[in-house]
Amino acid sequence: MKAKTPKLPRPKSASKPKPLAAHQRRFFQEEGYLIVPDVFAPADLEPLREEMAEAIEEAVQALKAEGKLTQLHADLDFDHRLAALYRDSKENGEAILRRLEGRSSGGFRAPEMFNVITHPKLLAKVSSLLGTEEVVASSVYRIRPKLPNIGRGVVPWHQDSGYFAASCDDHLIITCWVPLVDATAENGCMQILPRTHRGPVVEHHTGGNAGFLVIQDENLPSDPRQAITAACPRGGVVFMTNITPHCSTPNYSDHVRWSIDLRYQSADVPNNVAALPKKIDAAGKADRAFYEKVTVACYPPEADFVVQSRKRPATVADYREYVRRRETYDGVKSGYAPIRPWPNRATAPAAKA
């Protein structure tokens, strides 16, 4: 994707965005999740949808130029076009997804994505859950295009801390799941196990669907039949703790269930904001001092950045700093210690009857 400069400055609200109410914070603390249906106005998310649609168009034109694609489906809207392209050709569909998602589904770094990550309406809610105005965002964000009747986007049961360093298990890292369409049971919204977030990180296994980690049913902290369906309209956000078990189900609709997930933590939680490599060799390996600094973070391979700070406002990253950190970390291809060596599902012992 071609390099871009910001079209718009960091979004500003005419009035100060409202934090969560006391009863909402209490619900989050007791249940481990919270669905807020009106964090954004739908128009707030339209620039991101439009930019992602443009990225799909660029990928389509590149495939056409290579002679790999003739049916462009240019008459279809953002919610339906990718599904039609994938249906015509899985190979082309995967190529478009790789171009859109980038490394680990977090490579899309347009200004419009940054503006959602740093949106005052969202940060006001996140700050009230964290109990601080000193907020760090993780670049462990993901674009989640769940295509109709394709298993690729079905995510098995897991806790987000299953992907993080064990040293961060006792810290709160908030996941914000932001649908870009109305998320329903039909198009594969999330399922959440409530009131299970006060326990430990349970055993996960590698080898889940599409390469995801998976908690096998016998290891879940509660009966999966107790899960709630986390339907959420466009403009809403599902907030979860890093210990809350969740999964998502297949999309049986006729359109793509577009969503993004973002993560935030207090600046007091271990992070790699101060860590940048001094050099990266041709093999993608950084200097030793970088690895020593970065390993304190909850997810070392991805760059953290400050999104809000009353105490040290000069440390808040602007768009250019965000891109610089992302691109620098993307250049480090090796040298990280294993974050959490979970066993493989295929070699796990059989569950007892």
What are the distances in angstroms from CA 310 to CA 124, 135, 275? 13, 9, 22
Phi and psi at residue 248, to the nearest 5° = -135, 155
C-alpha pair distances (Å), 101 with each of 52, 55, 94, 192: 10, 10, 10, 25
Q: Helix axis angle, 90-101 relative to 42-65, nearest 10°?
A: 130
* pTM, entire model: 0.92
* The token pair that represents 221 in the structure block: 């902290």
Residues 6+ apart with CB under 8 A from 74: 81
pLDDT for residue 109: 84
Cα gap 335→322, rounded to integer Å: 23
pLDDT for the residue 160: 96
On the CB side of 38, CA atoms within 13 Å amount to: 2
pLDDT, residue 102, reads 73
Domain ranges across the chain: 22-45+106-345
Strand 246-248: give its sheet, edge to edge.
Answer: 228-230, 190-192, 246-248
pLDDT at site 16: 87
Q: Say which amino acid occupies 93.
A: G
Distance CA 145, CA 105 (A): 10
d(CA 107, CA 110): 9
**What six digits make up the tokens of 181?**
């369409």
* Fold exhibited by the domain 22-45+106-345: Jelly Rolls (2.60.120)
Which of 233, 164, 224, 230 has its CA nearest to residue 196? 224
How far apart, in Å, do the first and last CA atoms of the chain sit? 51
Question: 3-state SS string over the chain?
Answer: CCCCCCCCCCCCCCCCCCCCCHHHHHHHHHHCEEEECCCCCHHHHHHHHHHHHHHHHHHHHHHHHCCCCCCCCCCCCHHHHHHHHHHHCHHHHHHHHHHHHCHHHCCCCCHHHHHHHCCHHHHHHHHHHHCCCCEEEEEEEEEEEECCCCHHHCCCCECHHHHCCHHHCCCCEEEEEEECCCECCCCCCEEECCCCCCCCCCCCEECCHHHCCECCHHHCCCCHHHCEEECECCCCEEEECCCCCEEECCCCCCCCEEEEEEEEEECCCCCCCCCCCCCECCCCEECHHHHHHHCCCCCCCCCEEEEECCCCHHHCCCHHHHHHHHHHHHCCCECCCCCCCCCEHHHCCCCCC
pLDDT in tens, the chain (353 residues): 444 544 444 555 557 899 999 999 999 999 999 999 999 998 999 999 999 999 999 999 999 999 999 999 999 999 999 999 999 999 999 999 988 887 654 568 899 999 999 999 999 999 999 999 999 998 777 888 999 998 888 999 999 999 999 999 999 999 999 999 999 999 999 999 999 999 999 999 999 998 999 999 999 999 999 999 999 999 999 999 999 999 999 999 999 999 999 999 999 999 999 999 999 999 999 999 999 999 999 999 999 999 999 999 999 999 999 999 988 998 998 899 889 999 998 665 544 43
**Closest C-alpha among 241, 80, 87 to residue 168:** 241
Q: Which residues are CB-neighbours of 84 under 8 A, at least 6 positions away?
A: 73, 76
Distance of CA 134 to the CA centre of its chain: 21
